[in-house]
């Protein structure tokens, strides 16, 4: 997957944890992990036209956070 040209954000991996049971607070014997599946967390990337320092226009992948914070100037 693409990577943000400004912040360097990219896809990261994690896990999806499934729990089963009633918590001890509610009178059960506690929650138990029944399965753990790998998954990916992807950044919100947009392909926009950006004007760089030299004034040239390029199409690059930029995260939505970088666009909102004003780190890039749209062309």
Split at pLDDT 50, 70, 90, the class of 55 is confident
CA angle 43/69/6 to nearest 5° reads: 55
Split at pLDDT 50, 70, 90, the class of 1 is low
Give this prediction's pTM: 0.71
State the average pLDDT over residues 19-34: 95
Parallel/antiparallel/unpaired status of strands 12-20 and 32-41: antiparallel
CA angle 10/37/16 to nearest 5° reads: 70
Rg of the Cα atoms in the chain: 21
């Amino acid at each position: 997957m693409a990577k943000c040209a400004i912040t360097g954000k990219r896809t990261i991996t994690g896990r999806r944890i499934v729990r089963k049971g009633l918590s001890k607070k509610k009178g059960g014997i506690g929650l138990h992990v029944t399965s753990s599946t790998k998954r990916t967390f992807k950044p919100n990337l947009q392909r926009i036209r950006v004007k760089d320092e030299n004034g040239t226009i390029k199409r690059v992948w930029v995260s939505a956070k970088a666009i909102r914070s004003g780190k890039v100037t749209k062309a």
